[in-house]
């Protein structure tokens, strides 16, 4: 498989997964950002995560994380 085909395949797979998470968030009436925050809290239950930790791990700015938490 050529590199461009691998990249295209990866991007397609990533898009499909992202769409599924978006659908799940919509079903529960929450934003994608909130879903990923909840996922992070679940995945790292043994750690004491700060909003900054979550922002860094999800590649979000701290304002987005703070705003999503306030809305929840």
Tens digit of each residue's pLDDT (9 = 90 or more) over 56-65: 999 999 999 9
State the pTM of this model: 0.77
Q: Is 43 exposed, middle or buried (0-12, 13-18, 19+ CB in 10 A)?
A: exposed
What's the confidence (pLDDT) of residue 69?
Answer: 86
Show the CA angle centred on residue 66, arms to residues 59 and 68, nearest 5°: 85
pLDDT band at 4 (very low <50, low <70, confident <90, very high): confident
pLDDT tens digits, one per residue of 25-63: 999 999 999 999 999 999 988 889 999 999 999 999 999
- Using the predicted structure, report yes or no on whether residue 1 has a pLDDT greater than 80: no
Widest CA span in the chain:
46
Contacts of 49 (CB under 8 A, 6+ apart): 40, 41, 57
Give, in order, the Cα–Cα distances in Å from 67 to each of 10, 11, 34, 53, 59. Answer: 31, 29, 9, 15, 15
What's the confidence (pLDDT) of residue 14?
Answer: 94
């Amino acid at each position: 498989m050529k590199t461009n085909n691998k990249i295209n395949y990866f991007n397609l797979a990533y898009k499909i997964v992202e769409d599924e998470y978006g659908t799940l968030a919509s079903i529960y009436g929450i934003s994608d950002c909130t879903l990923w925050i909840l996922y992070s809290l679940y995945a790292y239950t043994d750690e004491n995560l700060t909003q900054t930790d979550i922002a860094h791990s999800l590649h979000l700015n701290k304002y987005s994380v703070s705003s999503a938490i306030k809305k929840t």
